[in-house]
Amino acid sequence: MARLEIQETGKLPKNAKVIVGIPDAGLVGLISASHLIESLSMEEAVSFDSDAFPPIVVLHDGAPKSPMRAYSKGDLVVVISEIAIQLSSIRDVVRDLVGWMGAMGSSLSISLSGAPVPNRVDIDVPRVYGISVNVKDDLLAKMGVDRLQEAMLVGPYAAILEACRRTGAPNLTLLAQSHLQYPDPGAAAEALKAASTVLGRRIDVQPLMEKAEEIRVKLRDLMRSTEKVMRDSGKEREYELPSMYV
C-alpha cells in the first residue's frame, strides 16, 4: 500500500477550507488551484510524498520541491499536484489526504474539476454542477450551483468524494463543463467563481482569462501525461448515459 508521507513546513489554520487541485479533466483543478496560490500570495505549508509517485522533484526558483504540496493563507488551504496520480495509487493517496484533512480539523474540502462535455467548443460560459456530502443540503442552492443528479464520476475526485462519504468528512465537489483532453482555463474560471461564495471572498479571474492561451500552451505536456492516466482510469465512462433504473 502506497502511503502519503506528509511533511508540514508551515502554519496551518484550524477549521480550514481546503481546495484540492489534482490533474484531471481539462486540468481544471490544477489551473484553479494554481491561480488561487498566485493571486492570494499563499505560502507553502505542506509537502506530500509517496512511494506511489514517480521519482520526480520539481524546481521552482531553484528550490527542489515535491510535485504535490499544500499552501495556506488565512483560513484557506490549497492542495496542488503537478503530476497526475496513477490509477493504482489513487485510493491510497486520497485516503491519506482525506485523513490528513480530518486530522487538521478542516471544516470543508472543496474539489474543483472539469465535467467533460464533447461540445465544449460551442459553450461560451461553462455551467458548474455540484455534488455535496456531509454538508447542509441547501449549500449548493445558496451558491446558485445546480446539483449533479445522475452521472458517473471517475478518477481522483471520485475517490475523494467516496472517502469523504465513508468517513463523514464534509466535501463539496464543483465540476465546470470542460474539455476532457485540453487544458481549460475558462472552465477553471467558472469553477473558481462558483467556489468564491463558499470561500467568502471574491476571486478575480480576469488575470487568469488574460493568460488563458499561454496557460493552454504551457500545460500541454502535463495534459498529455494526465490523458494517459485518465485513459487507464476509464475516464471516458463519464460520457456514458447514467444507469437510471439501477
Max intra-chain CA distance, the chain? 55
Task: Name the DSSP class of 24.
Answer: -
Q: Give the nearest distance from C-beta 92 to other proteins in angstroms.
A: 26
CB burial string 88-107: b at 16+ within 10 A, e below: ebbbbbbbbbbebbbebebb
Closer of 92 and 184 to other proteins (Cβ): 184
Closer of 133 and 180 to other proteins (Cβ): 180
Q: Which residues have a Cβ under 8 Å from the Cβ of 233 and sit 6 or more positions away?
A: 87, 90, 154, 155
Give the residues lining the site for other proteins (CB under 8 A): 121, 179, 181-183, 212-214, 216-218, 220-221, 223-224
Q: Give the nearest distance from C-beta 59 to other proteins in angstroms.
A: 9
Closer of 49 and 182 to other proteins (Cβ): 182
Closer of 201 and 220 to other proteins (Cβ): 220
Q: Give the nearest distance from C-beta 238 to other proteins in angstroms.
A: 15
Radius of gyration of the chain (CA): 17
Task: Name the DSSP class of 237.
Answer: G
Q: Give the nearest distance from C-beta 58 to other proteins in angstroms.
A: 13
